Amino acid sequence: GAHALLVLTEWKEFKDLDLTKVRNLMDVPVIIDGRNIYEPAEVRKAGFEYHSMGREAVIHHMPSVNAPERKIARRKPVASLQKSVQKDKADSKLQTTVN
């Protein structure tokens, strides 16, 4: 899902969007309206944070209802880092005993 909807045209196709449907497709419900095609009350009712040109922002601080909590798959750097540190310590001890 999208993290923002940027409106950069005043085309009818965009003016007539079902904002509730759009909201349900987005991970983060933010509209940045560069053309002021929406009424702030309408956007607020649909549950968006709304920013437009020359008007007051509509900000909702609510979690997204359709955004599942995502876990990022990462390698476990701690294990490889620990091996590297142990190797460095072992190398350091060898150098100390040799000198």
Per-residue pLDDT in tens (0 to 9) along the chain, 99 residues: 899 999 999 999 999 999 999 999 999 999 999 999 999 999 999 999 999 988 887 776 555 555 555 555 555 555 555 666 677 777 766 665 555
For residue 57, give the amino acid letter: A
* Res 14: pLDDT: 93
* Res 40: pLDDT: 93
Alpha helix (H) residue ranges in the chain:
12-15, 19-25, 40-46, 77-98
Helix (H, G, I), strand (E, B) or coil at 39: coil
* Res 43: pLDDT: 94
Comparing C-alpha atoms, which of 7, 5, 3 is closest to residue 53?
7
* Res 29: pLDDT: 94
Whole-structure pTM value:
0.58
For residue 35, give the amino acid letter: R
